[in-house]
């Protein structure tokens, strides 16, 4: 699939933002006043910014509100509801804190759940696509949540938890790639099933000599050797390096570096998430 | 939950106007839907005899051609150097006066100095009439580089060709063979026919080095080595003769197989056919055992005939045939190596042919009477049918190969019999019923007769008094005596070389000669813009009519912009290439279903206007006033022979409306329009088959005005005119050919079909250039016209060269690679792709996708201009010099047909992606600007 | 409207015969022509005369090369458009309800006024049957010519999809695949009509008829020819007899 910049930005930023909100809503760290303002501002900028960037991906952004309609079947619609709920609840939770008011625990817990639900919805949008076997698995939303909370823990300065999560998510990502590879090999279908033809089937001519919406969106091919290299880079940047940085004696600078390294790693991993996800339609275009 | 409910019955249009498609030369009927007076949608006309409602990809994209940004807008006068594409727009008055100022002096002094050549227009009976009135001998359409081998071989052998002039009996045939066809002119009827065959479970065999399109759906594929079909066909003939599986009765009655050949090498008629004093062909009548005229009442011609006359032995053509083709030279085992078709397979296909023709014969209970007066109770059919086109004709042995194919059909008795091949009126028409060519110019006067025709011996060749060829293209000379369509591919190079003479004005219409229709595109562009020592252009003046901003436009001094096909009158006439069906004569019109929004004029109307300004006979009244207002007026009022005009439908008879023969009818076009743009006149049931010999058909043809008297004839298995040229080459008769051509004429103008290797093989070393390089018509593109079409260019925006898998692997190619392709004449660097369903010694590409930068209102970076390419850069109209000091023409030695498919090449992988196909031609300026960024055409709300 | 109907009264769809499709692309442009002028926004082309033209098409024809176990390689032309799946994933993912499957005949459509152009339905379709219009930025797909098949302004004989009407070889058939008696169902039955990507579980309505076997070497009906003679003289002897028999 095409790793569109808007989707990379949207999933990365909103994941980090919502992840941070999860922690803030659970009082980790227990911010208030200007501290709360700063933390919530960052998290809202990330989450809200990410979500609004997602509207850029729409052909008709002015009609974005229609997306709330089909929550009964569509994960995208559910994501819309979940995100509004999450932002609403975290807002409700944050508001008193800004004025050093009370910490509304029940709302905080609900807000954290809504943030996680939002990220789960995002992941489920992809996981629901049977036509993309690499995504079509429970691990897809799980990894989205794992990334979000890991990033959130980092941003929230929860060093120990962050270290644990970094290690766990890193390993999980490694396993997810491996199982994803196996799933693709198993479930992708073949040019024979795609065409119903027997014998060795090979694309002779594309229907049109140029590209089209489908090839541009869905027939993005990343060379295998690049993928392996990028996977290593993603693992190092997103997990290994931040772990090392956190393991060093604490300093804010190192903390910031860990966050930046993680964010960069997430971008690479997200790029791979899209770029490596092959759509079965590729079978009609010479995969 | 409530569902949305889209409008199920939207209004389709305000009005439907029925006319004829011209996205290609197939001439399908179209329904043009208009909304608010604008073209909204085009679909096929269900009632139309050609397409019965279907359209091809091009036809359905007509709206994009009609709205193309490349449409010319006004007459253009060149301002920059030739080829630059720099022009100023001028008025029609200025343009026409300029043209007249060039043409008038030519006509008055030396009419041959105007050379008028046309491309794939469909008004050749009109354009040739114009050229005849002008008086220049230098006129032809593009047939010489297109498919004259097919046409001439068909007419010289059986009085009609495949092409548009006949078709398989789709409804009855039980085995169908397709030779060397990718699309063909009759492309929708062919596709519909193939569909019908599939429905009936009829087997199709595709003989083609490349397995795409029609050949891909064929039940069996014969991936023959290019240029060897003649051998394959004659091996089939060998097997059939050997097994006695030929239609003896048919051969005896309807062909010249029983005619008697002079067998005495000492006779001056050696090899000619025996005739009586009245020049009637003689056969042995089996009733009497004595010679009798072939068409005498009740004569039963004897296939074994033999007679001694004046001491000279004559033996039947049939015996000659048996002698030649039973020879081991034509045995499948002898040809399998060259053709790449295993002997066992040739034998099996021969057996299938025999089985279907004789064991599955058809009988129709339809009595009929032949030209000898004999009544037949039934029509017997041999349901094997064949179709072929440029794959066999565009080789330098194409004439003989096409003849071999007809020979095979005739031996099986499957021409003009049920289930076989059927002619479409005005065909059948023997070669002798056609005129002979004329080329004597008289200043200020019209030419004595038509330019093109059929020669029957050396005395019909066209030379001037000084012994030089009479025509600029050297048609009808010893080099290519039977060049029935002229040689358009030689015009530019001959005019440039001043050989046989210099011309003044080159007048071209609808032919992209600076690009895809020239053999050697680079050289064509050079010759068109070359100057002499005084800085004057070697070809002094070029006038060109195109509708679009093509590559050729850039080389004209004066451009006469045509309309699109929806904006003008056209006439698809029984006088040239009508839309008939085997069961009906039919003709059609185009008419302006919308008016042009630019300062353009239908070219035929412009010719009518020019003719009037030049005072050409036939185009002006006695007092010099114009006879016709425009082309529509000409279509209605012109009479070629009394009662016979361009259109056969709705003429005025003695008692009222009539068809075929009749006086002009002022309202004729209205009748055509009301009838969907076409007219059809049905052949009577008794005349449906055996047309050349069937009196019911012959009489109907006279009635309909197709001919003035019944003209039954025999099929010429033995082609006597060829023998007459051979006789001269043997030194027996006058006039004689130049010495250097003697051997070639003796070899290639054999009166019985033969095979010889393509000429280029004899000249370019096949070891150095081991591969055959071919082009194919893409179904969704018409030559260069399609490139400007926003929809079609997405289907074919660039073209790779396809290589067979074994080469692909041997050279280590992978996807996205490029190759250098060289021939004896040039070199190109192009993208390549792999193909397994391809003859092992063949590479190919789609034809005419490559474009020059700046042409067709396309962006300079358009893939057509950067990746697309032409194979034409590797082709030359002359073969390389081969030690005899001569440059032989790269054409068929009989007809002059351009041998496009003789091309031999070599390939090498290039290491780096060159980014652009080589050669890169300098961009031309666009006189129409560039196309818009986005197209979202919708007329209705 | 993104719930799929439990069942549909009819299952309208296409049956495409791979045995006779010559890959002419006629159906491609006929579809483009009709659907540009009719249902919804015109099918636009971006960079129409430029370097990278990209237009919306509802039907495209691929070609595949097939190398069988034995025998020469073959070419199969392969038209591909929306299959109007019974279990259409493109419909259920749509967040707005713009995509829906009609309960009465099973046609899958996009209500362009409701479409936000999110592209998710195109991702969900395994067959690449949906394309975003480059100009209107709404999702486009085969409408099965809903505005033709019941159109009272058309002659009854013309109430069929544009691509079916135009196909010169007759490779495309339209009808009710839910009715076992319909001509299309019969055809599917006779010719072993197949589903594309059955593993995707989409239950396509459209069916493809497989190419018939090609290049079969032995034709039992045509025994090899027995020579009547092996040299010209013998042949003339045979000829004498044959002509005598003819009388
Ligand atoms: N769509 C479309 N239709 C067209 C045209 C077009 O440009 N586009 N052009 C029109 C014109 S002007 C013409 S002349 C006709 C031509 O119609 P076709 O005769 O169909 O022309 P080509 O595409 O040149 O096809 C030649 C075929 O012959 C095969 N071939 C080449 N050499 C040999 C050989 O030695 N033996 C055999 N058996 N086969 C061989 C090639 O593989 C190819 O399939 O088409 C007309 N119709
Ligand atoms: N390599 C290779 N080259 C070939 C062939 C091949 O098989 N291989 N085939 C050869 C054959 S058979 C042919 S017929 C030629 C065809 O070659 P051309 O005859 O050059 O064919 P087109 O490209 O169609 O060019 C015709 C010109 O007519 C113009 N035109 C289109 N419509 C109209 C109109 O309505 N009015 C006017 N006035 N002009 C119009 C077009 O814009 C174009 O400039 O190509 C030949 N060249
Ligand atoms: S074959 Fe196609 S382009 Fe040619 S006349 Fe017919 S519909 Fe038009
Ligand atoms: S129109 Fe018919 S034959 Fe042509 S590509 Fe489409 S389905 Fe195939
Ligand atoms: S083919 Fe694709 S677009 Fe059509 S119904 Fe099936 S999933 Fe949806
Ligand atoms: S692109 Fe339109 S139709 Fe498709 S899922 Fe999004 S809103 Fe629905
Ligand atoms: S049914 Fe209509 S919309 Fe669908 S592919 Fe055919 S022409 Fe296009
Ligand atoms: Mo041609």
The whole-angstrom separation of Cα C202 and Cα C217 is 39
- Domain-embedded: residue C56: yes
Q: Are strands B282-285 and B260-262 parallel, antiparallel or unpaired?
A: unpaired
Residues B226, B172: one domain?
Answer: yes
In a domain, B226, yes or no: yes
Are B558 and B2 in contact by the 8 Å Cβ rule? The answer is no
pLDDT tens, position by position, C198-208: 999 999 999 99
Residue B689 inside a domain? The answer is no
> Which of C53, C67, C197 is facing A189, going by the closest CB pair?
C197
Last residue of a domain, one of B374, B393, B423: B423
Q: Is C118:C23 a contact under the CB 8 Å cutoff?
A: no
Other C-beta atoms lying within 10 Å of the C-beta of residue C133: 24
Q: Rounded distance, CA B502 to CA B87, Å?
A: 26
Contact (CB<8Å) A207/C199: no
> Could A209 and B797 be called an inter-chain contact, meaning their C-beta atoms sit closer than 8 Å?
yes
CATH number for the domain including B884? 2.40.40.20
C-alpha of residue B143 to centroid of ligand 8, in Å: 7
Query: Ligand 4 within 6 A of C79 CB?
Result: yes
Top CATH class of A5-197+211-285 equals: mainly alpha
Residue A34: its pLDDT value, please?
A: 94
Residue B862 included in any domain: yes
CB contact under 8 A, A125 and C61: no
Residues from chain A that touch B863, judged by Cβ atoms under 8 A, are: 209-210
State the pLDDT at residue A62.
95
Q: Domain holding B284: CATH number?
A: 3.40.228.10
pLDDT confidence of residue A221: 79
- DSSP code at position B692: G
- Tell me which residue in B4, B10, B33 faces C111 most closely, judged by beta carbons: B4
Span C73-129, pLDDT tens digits: 999 999 999 999 999 999 999 999 999 999 999 999 999 999 999 999 999 999 999
**Min Cα–Cα distance to chain C from B468, Å:** 45
- Which two tokens mark B841? 């010694």
Per-residue burial over B257-277, b = 16 or more CB atoms within 10 Å of its CB, e = otherwise: bbbbbbbeeebebbbbbbbee
C23 touches chain B (CB under 8 A): yes
Average pLDDT over residues B693-709: 97
Structure tokens at A142: 């799980």
Rounded CA-CA distance B345/A155 in Å is: 77
Q: Is residue B185 part of a domain?
A: yes
pLDDT at C232 (0 to 100): 76
Residue whose CA is at the smallest distance from ligand 6 atom 4: C121
**Chains sharing 3 or more CB pairs under 8 A with chain B:** A, C
Q: Which atom of ligand 2 is nearest to the CA of B875?
A: 1
Of the candidates B81, B90, B66, B76, which has an alpha carbon nearest to the alpha carbon of residue B927?
B76
Number of structural domains in chain C: 1
- The per-residue pLDDT for range B750-798, each reduced to its tens digit, is 999 999 999 988 877 789 999 999 999 999 999 999 999 999 999 999 9
**Chain C CB contacts of A217 below 8 Å:** 119, 122-123, 132
Residue B847 · residue B777 · CB < 8 Å: yes
Query: Where do runs of H (alpha helix) occur along chain A?
Result: 5-25, 33-56, 75-98, 105-127, 139-155, 159-187, 191-195, 213-218, 224-235, 241-247, 252-275
C-alpha neighbours within 13 Å on the C-beta side of residue C7? 3
Whether B380 and B262 share a structural domain: yes
Instruction: Say if residue B354 is in the same domain as residue B443.
Output: no
Ligand 6 mutation target, pool C101, C128, C139, C142, most atoms within 8 A of CB: C139
Q: Give the residue, by CA position, lying nearest to ligand 1 atom 1.
A: B779
**For chain B, what is the mean pLDDT?**
96
Tens-place pLDDT, residues B520-568: 999 999 999 999 999 999 999 999 999 999 999 999 999 999 999 999 9
Using CB distances shorter than 6 Å, the residues near ligand 1 are B 24, 120, 146-147, 179-185, 187, 207-210, 224, 226-227, 229, 389-392, 395, 774-777, 779, 781-783, 901
Query: pLDDT-derived band of residue C1, with 50, 70 and 90 as boundaries?
Result: low
Asked if B403 and B436 sit in the same domain, the reply is: no
* Same domain membership, residue B196 and residue B125: no
Question: Would B386 be classed as within a structural domain?
Answer: yes
Residue C48 is nearest to which of B239, B355, B935, comparing CB atoms?
B935
Is the pLDDT reported for residue B874 higher than 80?
yes
DSSP output for B48-102: -TTTTT---TTGGGHHHHHT-TTB--S-EEE-SSTTS--EEE--HHHHHHHHHHH
Q: Which residues contact C113 (CB under 8 A, 6 or more apart)?
A: C98
Is the beta carbon of C120 within 6 A of some atom in ligand 6?
A: yes
Give per-residue pLDDT as tens, C178-198: 999 999 999 999 999 999 999
The minimum-distance atom of ligand 4 relative to the CA of C20 is 3
Identify whether B57 is preceded by a cis peptide bond (ω within 30 of 0).
no
Tokens of C149: 């098949």
Mean of the pLDDT values across residues C150-175? Answer: 98
* Crossing angle for the helix pair A159-187 and A139-155, to the nearest 10 degrees: 160
* Residue of C3, C24, C159 best to disrupt the B interface, most CBs of B under 10 A: C24
- Assess whether pLDDT exceeds 70 at residue C222: no
Q: Ligand 5 pocket: which of C14, C90, C106, C142 to mutate (most atoms <8 Å of CB)?
A: C90
DSSP state of A240: I
DSSP state of B31: E
Q: Are B897 and B400 in contact (CB under 8 A)?
A: no
Confidence of residue B882 (pLDDT cuts 50, 70, 90): confident
Residue C223 has pLDDT above 90, yes or no: no
Task: Report the residue of chain A nearest C75, measured CA to CA.
Answer: A204
* Nearest C-alpha in B relative to A286: B815
Residue among B796, B835, B837 minimizing CB distance to A209: B796
Does residue C230 fall inside a structural domain? no
User: Is the pLDDT reported for residue B443 higher than 60?
Assistant: yes
* Predicted pLDDT of residue C224: 80
- Cβ of residue C26 lying under 6 Å from some atom of ligand 4: yes
Predicted confidence at residue A17, as pLDDT, reads 96
Q: Given pLDDT bands bounded at 50, 70 and 90, which one contains residue B622? A: very high
Residue C218 confidence (pLDDT) above 70: no
* Tens digit of each residue's pLDDT (9 = 90 or more) over B484-506: 999 999 999 999 999 999 999 99
Tell me, what CATH number does B513's domain have? Answer: 3.40.50
CA of B145 from ligand 8 middle (Å) equals 7
pLDDT-derived band at C139, boundaries 50, 70, 90: very high
Q: Write down the domain spans for chain A.
A: 5-197+211-285
Contact (CB<8Å) B794/A204:
no
Determine the residue among B779, B780, B795, B838 to mutate to test chain A binding: the one whose Cβ has the most chain A Cβ atoms within 10 Å.
Answer: B795
CA B777 to ligand 8 centroid distance, Å: 10
pLDDT of residue C220: 55
Domain that holds residue C47: 12-209
Q: Per the CB < 8 Å rule, is C197 touching A204?
A: no
Q: Are residues B137 and B252 in the same domain?
A: no
Q: Ligand 7 in contact with C184 (CB < 6 A)? A: no
- Answer whether residue B809 is part of any domain: yes
Grouping H, G, I as helix, E, B as strand and the rest as coil, residue B281 is strand
CB neighbours of residue C246 within 10 Å = 12
Residue B406 has pLDDT above 90, yes or no: yes
Residue B41 included in any domain: yes
Whether C96 contacts chain A with CB within 8 A: yes
Q: Does residue B393 sit within a domain?
A: yes
Query: Are B387 and B364 found together in one domain?
Result: yes
Residue ranges in chain A whose pLDDT is less than 70: none
Give yes or no for C114 touching A (CB within 8 A): yes
**Does the CB of C52 have a partner CB in chain A at under 8 Å?**
yes
Residues 6 or more apart whose Cβ sits within 8 Å of residue A63: C96, C114, C115, C116, C117
CATH code of C135's domain: 3.30.70.20
Residue of B nearest to C54 (CA): B794
3-state DSSP call for residue B216? helix
C140 lines ligand 5 (CB under 6 A): no
In this structure, how many other beta carbons lie within 10 angstroms of the beta carbon of residue B109?
A: 11
CB within 8 Å: C80 and A211: no
Structure tokens at B466: 């000084």
Same domain, B192 and B341: yes
Q: Whose CA is nearest to atom 34 of ligand 2?
A: B547
C117 touches chain A (CB under 8 A): yes
**Residue B261 pLDDT > 80:** yes
Which of ligand 3's atoms lies nearest the C-alpha of B56?
Answer: 2
Domain range enclosing B376:
166-423
CA-based nearest residue in chain C for residue A59: C117
Query: Are B183 and B269 contained in the same domain?
Result: yes
Given a cut of 60, is residue B674 above it in pLDDT?
yes
Res. B835: pLDDT tops 90: yes
Q: What share of chain C is helix, strand, coil (3-state, %, to 5)?
A: 25, 20, 55
Q: Which of A58, A212, A278, A283 to mutate to test the interface with C (most CBs of C within 10 A)?
A: A212
Sign of the C-alpha dihedral computed for residues B274, B278, B284 and B288 taken in this order? negative
Smallest CA-to-CA distance from B496 within B530, B545, B453 is with: B530
User: What residues 174-203 of chain C have any CB closer than 8 A to a CB of chain B?
Assistant: none
Span between the terminal Cα atoms of chain C, in Å: 81
Predicted confidence at residue B742, as pLDDT, reads 97
Q: Which residue of A has its CA nearest to B868?
A: A209
Q: Which of B301, B593, B575 is nearest to B435 (CA)?
A: B575
Nearest to A210 among B797, B835, B836 (CB): B797
Helix (H) or strand (E) holding B40: strand B38-44
What pLDDT was estimated at residue B49?
Answer: 97
Tokens found for residue A212: 């089209």
- Section B687-703 average pLDDT: 97
Say whether both B61 and B116 belong to one domain.
Answer: no
How far apart (Å, rounded) are the C-alpha atoms in residues B471 and B632? 31
- Which backbone phi and psi does C17 adopt, to 5 degrees? -95, 105
Under 8 Å between Cβ of B141 and B127:
yes
User: Residue A195 is inside which H or E element, if any?
Assistant: helix A191-195
Residue C228, in any domain of the structure: no
Backbone angles phi, psi at B166, to 5 degrees: -170, 165
Nearest-neighbour CA in chain C from B617: distance (Å): 45
Q: Is the same domain home to B203 and B121?
A: no
Q: Is the complex ipTM higher than 0.95?
A: yes
Q: Is the pLDDT of residue C217 over 90?
A: no
Confidence band, pLDDT 50/70/90 cuts, at residue B440: very high
Residue with tokens 């100023």: B88
Pairs of CB atoms within 8 A across A/C: 200
Q: Say if strands B904-910 and B771-776 run parallel, antiparallel, or are unpaired.
A: antiparallel
Q: Tell me, in angstroms, the distance from the centre of ligand 5 to residue C203's CA.
A: 10
The mean per-residue pLDDT over the stretch B925-939 comes to 96
């Amino acid at each position: 699939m095409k790793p569109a910049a808007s989707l990379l930005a949207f999933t990365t930023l909103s994941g980090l933002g919502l992840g941070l909100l999860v922690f803030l809503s659970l009082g980790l760290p227990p911010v208030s006043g200007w501290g709360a303002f700063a933390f919530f501002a960052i998290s809202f900028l990330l989450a809200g910014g990410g979500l609004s960037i997602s509207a850029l991906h729409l052909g008709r952004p002015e009609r974005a509100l229609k997306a709330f309609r089909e929550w009964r079947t569509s994960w995208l619609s559910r994501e819309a509801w979940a995100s509004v709920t999450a932002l609403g609840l975290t807002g409700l939770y944050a508001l008193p804190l800004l004025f050093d008011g009370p910490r509304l625990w029940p709302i905080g817990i609900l807000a954290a759940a809504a943030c996680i639900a939002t990220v789960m919805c995002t992941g489920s949008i992809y996981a629901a696509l049977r036509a993309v076997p690499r995504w079509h698995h429970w691990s897809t939303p799980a990894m989205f949540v794992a990334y979000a909370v890991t990033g959130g823990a980092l941003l929230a300065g929860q060093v120990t938890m962050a270290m644990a999560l970094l290690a766990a998510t890193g390993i999980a990502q490694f396993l997810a790639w491996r199982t994803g590879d196996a799933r693709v090999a198993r479930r992708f279908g073949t040019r024979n099933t795609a065409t119903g033809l027997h014998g060795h089937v090979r694309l002779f001519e594309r229907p049109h000599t140029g590209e089209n919406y489908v090839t541009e969106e869905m027939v993005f091919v990343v060379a295998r050797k690049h993928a392996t290299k990028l996977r290593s880079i993603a693992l190092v940047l997103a997990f290994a390096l931040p772990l090392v940085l956190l393991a060093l004696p604490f300093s804010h600078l190192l903390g910031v570096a860990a966050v930046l390294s993680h964010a960069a790693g997430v971008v690479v991993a997200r790029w791979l998430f899209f770029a490596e996800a092959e759509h079965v339609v590729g079978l009609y275009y010479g995969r | 939950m409530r569902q949305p409910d889209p409008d199920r019955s939207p209004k389709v249009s305000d009005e439907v106007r029925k006319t004829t498609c011209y996205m290609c030369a197939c001439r399908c009927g179209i329904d043009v839907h208009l909304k608010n007076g604008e073209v909204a949608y085009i679909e096929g006309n269900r009632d139309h005899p050609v397409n019965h409602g279907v359209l091809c990809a091009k036809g359905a994209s007509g709206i994009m051609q009609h709205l193309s940004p490349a449409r010319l807008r006004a007459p253009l006068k060149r301002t920059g150097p030739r080829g630059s594409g720099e022009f100023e727009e001028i008025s029609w008055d200025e343009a026409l006066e300029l043209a007249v100022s060039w043409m008038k002096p030519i006509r008055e002094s030396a009419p041959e100095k105007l050379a008028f050549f046309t491309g794939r227009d469909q008004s050749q009976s009109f354009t040739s009439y114009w050229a005849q009135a002008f008086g220049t001998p230098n006129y032809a359409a593009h047939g010489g580089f297109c498919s004259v081998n097919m046409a001439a071989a068909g007419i010289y052998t059986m009085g009609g060709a495949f092409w548009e002039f006949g078709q398989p009996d789709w409804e009855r045939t039980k085995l169908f063979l397709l030779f060397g066809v990718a699309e063909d002119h009759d492309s929708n009827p062919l596709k519909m026919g193939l569909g019908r065959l599939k429905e009936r479970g009829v087997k199709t065999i595709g003989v083609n080095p490349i397995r795409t399109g029609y050949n891909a759906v064929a039940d069996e594929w014969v991936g023959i080595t290019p240029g060897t079909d003649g051998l394959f066909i004659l091996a089939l003939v060998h097997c059939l003769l050997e097994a006695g599986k030929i239609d003896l009765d048919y051969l005896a009655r309807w062909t010249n197989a029983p005619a008697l050949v002079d067998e005495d090498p000492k006779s001056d008629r050696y090899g000619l056919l025996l005739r009586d004093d009245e020049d009637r062909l003689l056969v042995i009548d089996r009733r009497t055992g004595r010679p009798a005229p072939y068409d005498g009442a009740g004569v039963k011609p004897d296939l074994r005939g033999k007679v001694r006359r004046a001491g000279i032995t004559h033996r039947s053509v049939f015996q000659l045939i048996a002698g030649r083709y039973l020879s081991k030279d034509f045995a499948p085992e002898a040809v399998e190596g060259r053709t790449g078709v295993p002997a066992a397979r040739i034998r099996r296909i021969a057996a299938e042919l025999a089985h279907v023709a004789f064991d599955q014969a058809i009988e129709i209970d339809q009595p009929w009477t032949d030209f000898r007066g004999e009544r037949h109770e039934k029509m017997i059919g041999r349901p094997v049918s064949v179709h072929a086109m440029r794959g066999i004709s565009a080789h330098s042995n194409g004439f003989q190969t096409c003849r071999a194919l007809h020979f095979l059909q005739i031996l099986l008795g499957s021409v003009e019999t049920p289930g076989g091949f059927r002619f479409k009126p005005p065909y059948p028409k023997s070669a002798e019923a056609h005129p002979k060519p004329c080329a004597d110019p008289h200043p200020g006067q019209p030419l004595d007769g038509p330019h093109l025709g059929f020669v029957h011996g050396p005395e019909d060749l066209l030379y001037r008094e000084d012994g030089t060829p009479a025509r600029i293209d050297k048609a009808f000379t010893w080099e290519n005596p039977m060049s029935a369509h002229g040689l358009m591919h030689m015009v530019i190079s001959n005019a440039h070389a001043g050989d046989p003479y210099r011309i003044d004005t080159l007048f071209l219409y609808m032919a992209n000669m600076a690009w895809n229709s020239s053999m050697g595109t680079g050289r064509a562009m050079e010759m068109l813009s070359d100057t002499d020592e005084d800085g004057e252009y070697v070809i002094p003046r070029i006038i060109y009519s195109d509708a679009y901003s093509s590559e050729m436009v850039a080389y004209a001094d004066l451009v006469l912009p045509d309309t699109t096909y929806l904006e003008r009158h056209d006439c698809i006439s029984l006088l040239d290439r009508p839309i008939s069906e085997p069961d009906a004569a039919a003709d059609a019109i185009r008419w302006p279903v919308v008016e042009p929004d630019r300062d353009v004029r239908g070219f035929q109307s412009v010719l009518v206007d020019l003719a009037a300004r030049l005072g050409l006979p036939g185009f002006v009244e006695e007092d010099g006033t114009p006879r016709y207002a425009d082309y529509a007026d000409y279509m209605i009022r012109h009479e070629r022979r009394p009662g016979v005009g361009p259109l056969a439908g709705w003429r005025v008879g003695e008692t009222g409306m009539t068809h075929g023969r009749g006086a002009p009818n002022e309202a004729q076009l209205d009748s055509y329009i009301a009838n969907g743009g076409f007219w059809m006149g049905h052949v009577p049931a008794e005349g449906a088959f055996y047309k050349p010999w069937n009196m019911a058909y012959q009489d109907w043809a006279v009635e309909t005005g197709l001919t003035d008297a019944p003209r039954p004839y025999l099929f010429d298995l033995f082609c006597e005119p060829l023998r007459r040229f051979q006789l001269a080459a043997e030194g027996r008769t006058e006039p004689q050919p130049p010495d250097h051509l003697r051997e070639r004429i003796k070899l290639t103008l054999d009166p019985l079909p033969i095979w010889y290797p393509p000429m280029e093989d004899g000249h370019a070393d096949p070891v150095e250039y081991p591969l055959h390089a071919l082009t194919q018509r893409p179904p969704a593109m018409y030559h260069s016209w399609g490139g400007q079409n926003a929809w079609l260019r997405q289907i074919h925006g660039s073209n790779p060269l396809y290589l067979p898998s074994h080469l692909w692997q041997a050279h280590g190619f992978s996807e996205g690679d490029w190759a250098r392709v060289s021939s004896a004449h040039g070199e190109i660097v192009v993208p390549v792709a792999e193909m397994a369903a391809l003859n092992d010694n063949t590479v190919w590409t789609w034809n005419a996708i490559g474009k020059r930068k700046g042409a067709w209102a396309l962006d300079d970076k358009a893939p057509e201009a950067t990746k697309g390419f032409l194979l034409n850069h590797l082709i030359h109209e002359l073969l390389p010099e081969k030690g005899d000091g001569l440059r032989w023409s790269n054409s068929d030695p009989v007809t002059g047909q351009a041998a496009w498919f003789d091309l031999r090449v070599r390939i090498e992988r290039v290491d780096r992606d060159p980014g652009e196909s080589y050669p890169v031609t300098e961009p031309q300026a666009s006189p129409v600007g560039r196309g818009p960024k986005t197209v979202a055409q919708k007329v209705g709300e | 409207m993104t719930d799929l109907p439990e069942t549909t009264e009819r299952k309208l769809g296409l049956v495409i015969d791979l045995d006779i499709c010559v890959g002419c692309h006629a159906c491609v442009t006929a579809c483009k022509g009709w659907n540009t002028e009719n249902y919804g926004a015109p099918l636009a082309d971006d960079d129409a005369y430029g370097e990278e033209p990209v237009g919306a098409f509802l039907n495209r024809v691929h070609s595949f090369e097939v190398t069988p176990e034995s025998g020469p390689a073959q070419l199969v032309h392969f038209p591909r458009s929306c299959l109007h799946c019974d279990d259409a994933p493109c419909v259920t993912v749509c967040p707005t309800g713009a995509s829906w499957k009609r309960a009465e005949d099973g046609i899958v459509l996009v209500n362009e006024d409701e479409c936000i152009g999110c592209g998710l339905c195109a991702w969900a379709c395994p067959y690449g049957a949906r394309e975003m219009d480059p100009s209107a930025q709404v999702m486009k797909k085969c409408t099965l010519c809903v505005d033709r098949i019941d159109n009272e302004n058309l002659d009854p004989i013309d109430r069929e999809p544009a691509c079916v009407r135009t196909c010169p070889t007759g490779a495309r058939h339209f009808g009710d695949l839910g009715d076992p008696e319909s001509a299309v169902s019969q055809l599917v039955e006779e010719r072993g009509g197949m589903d594309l990507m059955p593993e995707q579980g989409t239950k396509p309505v459209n069916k493809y008829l497989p190419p018939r076997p090609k290049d079969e070497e032995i034709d039992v009906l045509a025994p090899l020819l027995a020579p009547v003679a092996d040299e010209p003289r013998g042949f003339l002897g045979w000829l004498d007899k044959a002509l005598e028999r003819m009388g």
